Amino acid sequence: MSTPPSLHALIAALKTLPGIGPKSAQRMAFHLMQRDQKGAADLATALNNALGKLKHCSLCNTFAEVDLCDVCSDEKRQHNLLCVVEMPTDLMMLEQTLAFHGLYFVLMGRLSPLDGIGPNDIALQRLLERASDGVVEEVILATNFTTEGEATAHYLAEMLRARGLKVSRIARGMPVGGELEHVDAGTLAQAMLERRSV
């Protein structure tokens, strides 16, 4: 009893999705073919549609279907502030805070030598060009505070400072509403080290 070729190929294709193992891929394939053929057709259409339409904003590098995304084409933003984030989700999170009115640059990744993601695999060169446009005065590094995000920020800071740009990093410390008792020791230590006069 062999699996039909088209089913085998579908399971193999699903298995390449991040976080999907052989068992999950098989379960998904059976589900789609047995209980949700419309879902399968919709997913195929959505994939082809996204492949055809999605590109990157020419200024900030986030996903967009147009040349210039909503944020970059908003003339009321502060064009002298450039905030660097890893992914489009991070940009959206910051937008929700309403605390930043400058522009963004989305790396679409982070330096991760273990995963084979080096400086050429994220949009580093484009960031350097973008930040050197003569209008940007300060680059705010808002990569994650993970090991990889920190290493990326460190690397970017050196390259940007070498070009004479002012570089800053979003602050580390206690979460708003956070209790000392429930915060990890590393965060608390950092909050202590980075204490400010009040």
Question: Which residues here bind a copy of itself, judged by CB under 8 A?
Answer: 1-7, 9-10, 12-14, 16-19, 23-24, 26-37, 39-54, 62-65, 69-71, 87-89, 91-92, 95, 108-109, 181
Cβ 136 to a copy of itself shortest distance, Å: 19
Sequence-distant (≥ 6) Cβ neighbours of residue 133 within 8 angstroms: none
Contacts of 185 (CB under 8 A, 6+ apart): none
In the structure encoding, which two tokens stand for residue 15, read together? 């298995």
Report in angstroms how near the CB of residue 158 gets to a copy of itself at its nearest: 25
From a copy of itself, Zn ion, none, interface partner of 59 (C-beta below 5 to 8 A by class): Zn ion
The residues of the shown chain that bind Zn ion, judged by CB under 5 A, are 57, 59-60, 69, 72
Nearer to a copy of itself, 18 or 177 (CB): 18
Pick 14 or 59: Cβ nearer Zn ion:
59
**Interacting partner of 91 out of a copy of itself, Zn ion, none (Cβ under 5 to 8 A depending on kind):** a copy of itself
Please say whether the beta carbons of 175 and 183 come within 8 A: yes
- Dump strand ranges (E) for 45-182: 55-56, 63-64, 78-85, 102-106, 138-141, 166-169
Question: Nearer Cβ to a copy of itself, position 46 or 189?
Answer: 46
Least distance in angstroms from the C-beta of 11 to a copy of itself = 9
Cβ distance to a copy of itself smaller for residue 91 or 111: 91
Determine contact, residues 111/155, Cβ cutoff 8 Å: yes
Q: State how far the alpha carbon of 46 is from the alpha carbons of 40, 75, 120, 145, 179, in Å.
A: 10, 32, 29, 33, 44
Neighbours of 102 (CB within 10 A): 18
